Each structure stands twice: as C-alpha cells, then as structure tokens.
Amino acid sequence: MKKLLIKNGYVIDPKSGKNGHKDILISNGKIEKLAPSIALEDCGVSISKKTGLPKATELRVVDADGLLIAPGLVDVHVHFRDPGFTDKEDIYTGAKAAAKGGFTSVVMMANTKPAIDSVETMKYVLDKGRETAINVYACGNVTKGLKGEELTDMDALAAAGAVGFTDDGIPLINEDIVKQAMKKTAQLDMPISFHEEDPSVIDNNGINRGKASEYFGIGGSPRTAEINMIERDIKLAEGIRASIDIQHISTKEGVQLVREAKAAGMSIHAEATPHHFSLTEEAAIEHGTLAKMNPPLREEADRRAIIEGLVDETIDMIATDHAPHTAEEKARELTKAPSGIIGLETALSLGITNLVGAGYMTINKLIKLMSTNPAAVYHLDAGYIAENGPADIILVDTQASEVYEKESIASKASNTPFIGCELKGKVMMTICRGEVAYEA
C-alpha cells in the first residue's frame, strides 16, 4: 500500500484539543507519524539518487498549505435506501456522496425493505458497505418489520455488527415496547435512537402547523407532536441508564427538555440537522416538496434555539438525515410527495456558512459536533487525529465559496432546497482507511 504524506496543513483535533501546523504520514490505514515537520527521508521509502524524490509507487505527497485538516466527519443518521429502494439511492452512491461531503463514517438507518431486523439483512448492508471507500455502519431495528409490536433479536443483531437500534421513520407508540428496548440497549451498552413525532396529532406531515400549513391549506404537524414524545421518552428512560438519541430535533421546547434531562444526569443525546439550523417554514413555502421533511422546518425561534443547543452541546451531534427520493416522487402534489431531503454533500458547508461564518461557534466546535461527538455516542473508532489512530481525515478549504449546482451532486437524488445557494467551505480531499476516497 502506497504511503501518503500530507504537509503544511493546519491540523485540528477536538478530542485532544491539540491544534497547529503539522505534517501527517499515513501508512497501512493508520496515522504513522504526526509532527510539525516530516522529511521525505523519514518516511521509510526509497529516495531516488537522481531526483532526490521518493518513488511515486511508494509515496504520494500532498501539499495542504492553506487547508484545514480535520478528523473525517461522522454521520449517525443516513438513509441509503438499500435494500429495497435503490432507485432513490444505494450503498455505493450514498458512500460516494458521503465521501464528497467529507464523511468517512456513516450509520445507515434500518427502514429499508426488507428492514434491518434480521442478521441476514444486516450482513447484506455491512458486506456491501465494505466494498465502498468509506466506513458504512448500520443500526438494527428496534421492532420486527418496523411494526412497533415485537422486539427484534437485539443480541443477534449486535453480534452481527449493529452499532445502535432505531425504528427511525416510524415513532414507537407502545410504551412497554419502548421500556423493554431501553433496558435491552442499556445491557448491550448501545445507543437507541427515537423519531419523536406523535402521529395522532398530525394531519399531513412534513409541513409545520402554522404559517406554512395555512399557506398550503393543510393541517400540518404541530410542535406538540415532537414535544410530547420527547417528554414521554425522557420519563420512560428514568432509572434505566440507557443511552438515548433524540433524532432530528426541531422545536425550542424539545431542546429545553433535553437540556433539563442532561442537567439531571441522564444519558440523553440529541441530533440537529443542517436544514433545521439553517431554514424555517418560510423555505417550505418557497420550495414546496423540496423543503418537506419529518419533522418539518419550524419557526425562527426554533431555529435559534437549535443553534443555542448546539453551542452549549445540549444538542451534541449534527446529523444529516440524508433522505434521497426520486424527482418523480418529489414532483407529486405536496400531501402525496414523500418527506426528506439529501444532505451529505452540503452539511459541512452549511455548518461553516451558518454556524461558524455567522459567529455562533468556532470551526473546532463544528468539527466536534460533526465528528468527535457522534463517534463517541456510537462507540466508533473515529473522530480524532492521533498517531496509531485511523487515517480517516479531511482537507478543507474553509475560505472557498461555491454555488451548489445540481450537476455536481454525487448522490442519485437531488431533492434539496439548497441548489443555487452559495456556500462557504469546500472539501478538497477525503481520506478513509489511508486511501483517498474523494478528491476535488
């Protein structure tokens, strides 16, 4: 395997807090050396007497002058639609989109067809994931067939490689099932993730009940749909010591509930999507189905509360909820089109533009939220830069600005309201397991 030497970049590592200009030598999928300067002669490769340069077959040198070097991003909430819905996305194209966005590790959700409720399906997605250039993990289902009635064999799924459990896409209504699942995942020391929307109070999901629903003349999703479910699950988790992940939080009240639970010492975590910290229901009015998602975009006060939650780490993870759909599906009338948008290729730029650029946080904090923290919650060997650690890193031009164009999208899908937006920050190279997975 060819070695890789990255020189002259500015390295940040939120896990250790050690930042600075450093060179990185990569070999055999690991970071072999991390130092202020690494000479070619110290790379353990042959140097040509004629040119004074290493053989191209043994070492590639990358000049990262002016670039930020950070741990590869970790997304614990993606939908790759494989198996069952590969006209929208598959594991190969999803991994390509992830690498382009700077993600070296992703966790697939389990609402595929068949669902990831069996060892056979888990083996299928993980085996296919190993054929890609990034690390593809998967959650197992909480309940068989996503029906909310009977727990899956969580022990078997964990042994087969699951890194967590969720019925994402479908809220768990049966409280007894929820408590059983919490107790089991606590025993396994694995996170359990919840899609917090009460369907009994929703009439036409994907659009906020308020200005947007009034504009479209539909019922929409009230904020209480999320608030009540988060409140319920925090209460159910008391005394169980399960690691709870509240997915794609969208309301200011939900953020406060998580904040209070953390203050009480509970192991509660939360995710925010880039679209929920970047947009409000005004985007749904402007873009229609391209800005329809569950939970929906809400009000400016909610957007600001989500940002505040990210700043104080009440919300400790940014996750894309990458949800590809075909153009034909999104072209349907609003109430019949599916919810969800793609997000892997815009997530980092939206963070740099709307969080760092707006003065809410440093780039170090952003990387912590997009890499170090999610890796820790899901017990992944990722999210840091250190000698003998995984060679999963990204090179980013934080000053570059680029208009997000449909023609440049690596995903099979293009369902996003961000096409045509000028975003700051560009991934120049994604390295995973010591190999270049993407290069601009």
Q: Which of 321, 381, 392, 397 is catalytic?
A: 321
Do you find a cis peptide bond into 83, omega within 30 degrees of 0? yes
Q: What is the CA radius of gyration of the chain?
A: 22
Residue with tokens 């189905």: 289
Q: Which element (helix H / strand E) includes 374?
A: helix 373-377
Reduce the DSSP state of residue 124 to 3 states and report it: helix
Q: What is the DSSP string of 129-190?
A: HTTSSSEEEEPBPSBGGG-SSSB--HHHHHHTT---EE-TTS----HHHHHHHHHHHHHHT-
Residue 429 vs residues 64, 101, 426: alpha-carbon distances, Å: 10, 9, 9
Q: Are 400 and 68 in contact (CB under 8 A)?
A: no
Distances (CA, A) of 408 to 98, 273, 420, 439: 13, 22, 11, 13
Cα separation, 313 vs 253, whole angstroms: 16
CA distance 188 to 142: 13
CA distances from 65 to 102, 308, 316, 394 (A): 18, 33, 31, 14
Concerning whether 321 is annotated as a catalytic residue, the answer is yes
Q: Which helix (H) or strand (E) holds 6?
A: strand 3-11
Rounded (5°) CA angle 299-301-303: 75
Contacts of 202 (CB under 8 A, 6+ apart): 219, 220, 221, 222, 225
> Residue 402 corresponds to which tokens in the numbers above?
């680029």
Q: How far is CA 48 from CA 45, 53, 55, 56, 83, in A?
A: 10, 5, 7, 10, 50
- CB neighbour list of residue 74: distance below 8 Å, 6 or more residues apart: 103, 104, 105, 106, 370, 371, 374, 375, 378, 380, 382, 383
* Residue 211: count of CB within 10 angstroms of its CB: 16
Reported in sequence order, the residue ranges of 261-319 that DSSP labels E, i.e. its strands, are: 268-272, 317-318
The catalytic residues are: 321
